Structure 1
């Protein structure tokens, strides 16, 4: 029987608020925490292999973390396995430092991926990419390990997907419970305003009014479609002041509108928006804080084991399709994507351990690690398993296929002078927090300081063409020089102080991509190895190459139109892609060479049992396997919306409801 140890929701929220206040106190210490990963006191316990947990959840990110907490709060004994550590520091706590957090050795897993299929034409494109690594012939794809997973290092953007994303899953699976109305109710349910755990905030709109460049940039973005290109327009724009911007904001409802409000979600039109982000009192707050608070409140229900790399799912010797536990390596930095792993001998294996389960194993390792773990456990395409002499548990050819991502590019311009509100900011360069004047200002009032936000100036959400049913482009402006991901990219991305050149970036993100041709395949049977990952960019499998490419091209041109309307004197020159690349064919070729992504998903596709490419059903159960589910971003049939974090948190809430219903009344 499960423990009758449910927690009162109101008390839990009050306690979580106290934890947020404690986190604020931590930031008053401006020293930089050590990067060593000493085991926490809570992690010094040993798993008894004779013990059986109700549930084992592998991975503590957006899918697994909230799910494990939800099951524990319902009274079940839950083991949450996390390959990374529990520690934190000021970099990962401070929202504006999210780029640096993604490369912080405390958290960073560095993958190197291929973007094109193996042909001479596409391989030449790969090598021409400005971020191509000669020493490691592929492109950098940073991920995170640690309690909370990638929620610890992402740009904090939480954008609700399209209603059709949910309705399409219902149509594909024949499960009406995936309807958009019910899924939006789940989004409301997880928010702190409704007794949940997720707090989303928005920057104050008139932060833009503190700098003349930001004023003119905002005005140009708001009027990118509405105003004509006349001398009169430019005269008005050049004279615009804070009062004029305030009037423009007040007469432009979308800039005040939260794009997650149901009114916008139901209508989806072009507009300029203020993106919601997850910070409490100016400090990143999310899945990690939920996990730690749940464990504190329910130490007999939620057991968190960090530095535990899961290596395979274990099956009943008398019934090979019945999951009974997992095998894992106990030890820090065991996975070879971990940047600290390179400092260890290649023979380092950690300590092999087992954990057993009474009810279910739930995989939540993400789009790369979940299919890798399934295949290492004998679940995947028969020919792939035979290649590595892995005993087959279930032939599911779709495991690792259907890999999808956004396409992203940027337009970067050098500025004539720094943005005034950032002029004295060093962004704690070289981890010297005490020497950063803006850090001292942030500590005085973190919730209203730019360091307490993700740094986005504003965002445009729009359709790339009238043919699109809903907006498929997000174009957001951010101070700094961001040209994609490469080792040490964050050092170039962070805005510079007044002694160095300053830059402004428009990031163009293409959602609802048509390409489903990417793959994750095993590199070896060594669970410490990363898999082979190929996104097969701009593959024309669904005749979507032209549509995707034209959409990114349109987004790039929108960014350039905004820059052209800002006026002379503020932007010095475009450095990426650069004004010399202007003809349509040249720009499209540049896009194909330079595009990247960071929303990997869809490699354990949800679908009916009759779909040969489907891996899980609408209840997250792995087809043909007992007591095994997948709950993470790999389950989507099609990549949802424009940002993947919030949809995955909602999917986690959905999975919790499904699992609790399935086990209600069972001993």
Structure 2
């Protein structure tokens, strides 16, 4: 594997994130083809990219994250919501909270009902299994020996245990596998980690492929547009170390930049809504109105509590001796608080009477802070995050200007439907009931956020509007479908353009009911097979 930039390749993959790493590695398994993977960020050499709790240091890092921001959100009192996205090898899988959650079987069956042939749960399960190296071993739903290590969490804080017991008190079943037959219930999360270290998509897929001469990974390469020859994508233009370069693709270009970067690059290349492109001064290569529409994201609000015993991470983090012990525990046993993911135990529950499957996901954290990634409170605390799984709200990604270095405009449109508002309110109310059970209530000294000021439904909704935040799962902006209005077809080919596909969370017609890293890797795995099948068909023709 080299990072020398050639003039051409068979396949050019744009974006070394969750899907891009999987796709590039799988394509390069064929030694007869040359694959180039372009990544705007640097190599993943920062040590915090490999320690699980390192997301607290990297998520808003000035160079390892894109540090995007939504436009003022009408339903959130005009607030702008920070959207960190990974800018390094591994993409967001290198800075995320490590949770391995696929979503519900019904999510993918729904995709199939929307015309996405070949994307039912039965169809995608082999790709989840192929990607997975499940610590518990293989079975009908899990794989072993794949690139992506999936492990049980290594720190089981007493508060996290109490959260699971609290759910049982309220009648929710114990669930030791959120990726099993059913998702509903409470249990510990599994994480994308290997022997205590983070397993990003780069670690899983690129590191084992280092010896392949036909895989060329080019970091610090900011793609600025597609090289269009009529209705064909013939290559990619990019900037590297101040120089403008062009890389031709003799077979295909595949965009894996994620739900913001992939539609942004299409728009910059003249592929998108003609009226918008003309208004931005971009020459129209192909009028494709759906590019940048259908934006979905999971939205969360957090309850926080003062704990009456020194068992939270706050106590250890705010003590020099505690910090020393945490470091020693990680160094000697690869366990302890430094292995903590963005949710230790969790619950998938139904809070709306019309929901047939879980509509809210809870992330329990044995620590608390005023804001995400800020210093932990100087008193023992814990956090319960409630996240709506199937938002009805839809937003957009659009151009700010024709300048490829100008960040895209993000309009998430959070809480723009009554169902979304009601689901979040009911989610917070269930979170409170969990805190008042015998098991968890024994640790609670007081609810500090939102506290007594948010008693009625109206007050709870006001609190959600004032403090709610992304849970970092943007998707849907290059919608896959069987209909002509979709951006990509079920083969992930961009409609109306030859030699161009998109493979990342942007192709999801509806966001999955859970975290999006594992599904994005599955999309990369499946796209590799689609590309290989297309190549065989061309040879046979």
Q: Is the 8 A contact 2:160 2:365 kept in 1?
A: no
Match of 1:640 among 490, 508, 512: 512
Counterpart Cα distance in 2 of 1:113 and 1:420: 33
Written as runs of structure 1 = structure 2, the 5 A alignment for 1:603-614 is: 603-611=477-485, 614=486
Counterpart Cα distance in 2 of 1:626 and 1:466: 46
Q: Secondary structure at the match of 2:300?
A: strand
Match of 2:411 among 531, 534, 542: 534
1:322 aligns with 2:232: yes
Partner of 1:306: 219
Q: Is the 8 A contact 2:26 2:528 kept in 1?
A: yes
1:491 aligns with 2:374: yes
Q: Is the 8 A contact 2:312 2:382 kept in 1?
A: no
Written as runs of structure 1 = structure 2, the 5 A alignment for 1:86-485 is: 86-114=43-71, 116-117=73-74, 122=75, 125-127=76-78, 132=79, 138-173=80-115, 175=117, 177-192=118-133, 193-203=143-153, 207-208=156-157, 211=158, 213-214=159-160, 216-225=162-171, 254-255=174-175, 257-261=176-180, 263-264=181-182, 268=183, 270-298=184-212, 300-316=213-229, 320-331=230-241, 350-419=242-311, 423-425=315-317, 436-446=324-334, 448-454=335-341, 456-482=343-369
Deviation track 1:301-320 (CA, whole Å, cap 9, x = no partner) reads 1100000000000012xxx1
Structure 1 residue 575, shift from structure 2 partner: 2.0
Q: Secondary structure at the match of 1:185?
A: helix
Structure 1 residue 515, shift from structure 2 partner: 1.3
1:67 aligns with 2:15: no
Partner of 2:460: 587
Partner of 1:16: none
Partner of 2:389: 511
Q: TM (normalized to structure 1)?
A: 0.75
Counterpart Cα distance in 1 of 2:236 and 2:389: 36
Q: Secondary structure at the match of 1:491?
A: coil
Counterpart Cα distance in 1 of 2:487 and 2:71: 23
Moved more, 91-100 or 275-284: 91-100
Structure 1 residue 53, shift from structure 2 partner: 0.3
Structure 1 residue 174, shift from structure 2 partner: 5.5
Counterpart Cα distance in 2 of 1:167 and 1:214: 32
Counterpart Cα distance in 2 of 1:87 and 1:515: 35
Structure 1 residue 77, shift from structure 2 partner: 0.8
Show structure 2 runs of 5+ residues with no match: 134-142
Show structure 1 runs of 5+ residues with no match: 1-40, 133-137, 227-251, 332-349, 540-544
Q: Secondary structure at the match of 1:533?
A: strand
Counterpart Cα distance in 2 of 1:384 and 1:140: 25
Counterpart Cα distance in 2 of 1:587 and 1:434: 36
Deviation track 1:210-264 (CA, whole Å, cap 9, x = no partner) reads x4x55544422321237xxxxxxxxxxxxxxxxxxxxxxxxx6x24x21112x22
Q: Is the 8 A contact 2:160 2:345 kept in 1?
A: no
Q: In structure 2, do the counterparts of structure 1 residues 456 and 172 end up closer, same or farther at CA, with 3 Å as the change threshold?
A: closer
Partner of 1:542: none
Q: In structure 2, do the counterparts of structure 1 residues 621 and 504 end up closer, same or farther at CA, with 3 Å as the change threshold?
A: same
Counterpart Cα distance in 2 of 1:604 and 1:72: 25
Counterpart Cα distance in 1 of 2:55 and 2:68: 18
Partner of 2:402: 525
Counterpart Cα distance in 1 of 2:188 and 2:21: 27
Structure 1 residue 96, shift from structure 2 partner: 2.3
Counterpart Cα distance in 2 of 1:426 and 1:441: 16
Counterpart Cα distance in 2 of 1:622 and 1:275: 36
Structure 1 residue 73, shift from structure 2 partner: 0.9
Greater per-residue helix proportion: 1
Structure 1 residue 106, shift from structure 2 partner: 4.4
Counterpart Cα distance in 1 of 2:342 and 2:236: 41
Structure 1 residue 204, shift from structure 2 partner: 5.8
**Greater Rg by CA:** 1
Deviation track 1:63-98 (CA, whole Å, cap 9, x = no partner) reads 211001100012321000000000323322111232
Structure 1 residue 188, shift from structure 2 partner: 1.1
Counterpart Cα distance in 2 of 1:215 and 1:527: 48
Counterpart Cα distance in 2 of 1:274 and 1:552: 23
Q: Is the 8 A contact 2:454 2:460 kept in 1?
A: yes
Q: Is the 8 A contact 1:272 1:458 kept in 2?
A: yes
Structure 1 residue 552, shift from structure 2 partner: 1.3
Deviation track 1:271-311 (CA, whole Å, cap 9, x = no partner) reads 1121110111100013111343244121x211000000000
Counterpart Cα distance in 1 of 2:520 and 2:383: 27
Counterpart Cα distance in 1 of 2:495 and 2:2: 36
Q: Is the 8 A contact 1:330 1:353 kept in 2?
A: yes
Q: In structure 2, do the counterparts of structure 1 residues 422 and 583 end up closer, same or farther at CA, with 3 Å as the change threshold?
A: closer
Counterpart Cα distance in 2 of 1:527 and 1:417: 52
Match of 1:80 among 37, 41, 47: 37
Q: Is the 8 A contact 2:9 2:250 kept in 1?
A: yes
Q: Secondary structure at the match of 1:373?
A: helix
Counterpart Cα distance in 2 of 1:163 and 1:216: 28
Structure 1 residue 638, shift from structure 2 partner: 0.9
Q: Is the 8 A contact 2:304 2:448 kept in 1?
A: yes
Q: Secondary structure at the match of 1:354?
A: strand
Number of aligned residue pairs: 527
Structure 1 residue 568, shift from structure 2 partner: 6.5
Counterpart Cα distance in 2 of 1:469 and 1:653: 30
Deviation track 1:138-191 (CA, whole Å, cap 9, x = no partner) reads 22221110001000011001112122222222222252x222112112211111
1:652 aligns with 2:524: yes
Counterpart Cα distance in 2 of 1:460 and 1:115: 31
